[in-house]
Amino acid sequence: MNFFRANVGDEIQSSSFSASNVASARRQGFEIKIEEVVNEYFRDGWNYTYLENLGVPSGFDHRVVLANSPRHTVNYYAIITPNKKWEMDPTLRYESQRLFGE
């Protein structure tokens, strides 16, 4: 399990259609990861991330939830190694709705 926190100043927030300046931002959350080795041919794992991404974009005087910031993300992956020359690693991802600022 990991906890993370980053305070960022004067960043550019972009999306597919626009870019804007964010005076300050704070990203914090935690991640839990579990891995399992079944045998030499198969191993798998999953992780969960909780993210709180707040900032003060142009036109705001207080922190709001920043755009394109999913609150919850879950990944499941399986690594299949049929021989020593190659491996397959399919991944499934769930991402909660991308939140948009006020």
Q: Is 71 left (phi over 0), alpha (psi -120 to 50) or beta?
A: alpha
Q: For residue range 4-43, what is the model confidence (pLDDT) as tens digits?
A: 999 887 777 666 666 667 778 888 999 999 999 999 999 9
Q: For residue range 52-93, what is the model confidence (pLDDT) as tens digits?
A: 988 887 778 888 888 778 899 999 999 999 998 899 999 999
Reference 57, options 12, 23, 15; nearest CA is 23
- The answer for residues whose C-beta is within 8 angstroms of residue 18's C-beta and 6 or more apart is none
pLDDT at 57: 79
Q: How far apart (Å, rounded) are the C-alpha atoms in residues 92 and 65?
A: 26
Long-range interactions of 85-93: CB distance < 8 A, separation 24+ = none
Domain ranges of the chain: 2-99
